[in-house]
Amino acid sequence: MVINIHTIKPLDKELVLRAAKETGRIVTVEEHSVIGGLGGAACEALCESCPVPVKRIGMYNVFGESGPAAALLEKYGLDGKGVCKSVKEFL
């Protein structure tokens, strides 16, 4: 199941919970820091009602930098190939 959640607030908790119950785990992907992002919001919703394993894909403890968007996504594993690899390792 793939869900496009384009806003964190308000978070569609019912959709996140339904996906967790259906799949038994959640993967979130964001093109910025995972701190205060979608993954954190999903974890907060899940821990109260449906705790499942969660993989947060995004930027971890690095300073932002400038450059071509595609090159930066590739560098940090946030392009299609990198995300696919992370998801496969999680599953």
Inside any domain, residue 1: no
Report, in angstroms and rounded to the nearest whole number, the Rg of the chain calculated over CA atoms: 14
Q: Which domain holds residue 18?
A: 13-90
Q: Where are the alpha helices (DSSP H) in the chain?
A: 13-23, 38-49, 69-75, 80-90
CATH number of the domain at 56, please. 3.40.50.920
Give the model confidence (pLDDT) of 17-74 as tens digits: 999 999 999 999 998 888 889 999 999 999 988 999 999 999 988 887 899 999 999 9
Q: Is residue 4 part of a domain?
A: no
Which of 7-11, 14-18, 73-77, 81-85 comes out lowest in average pLDDT? 7-11
Residue 5 domain-assigned (yes or no): no
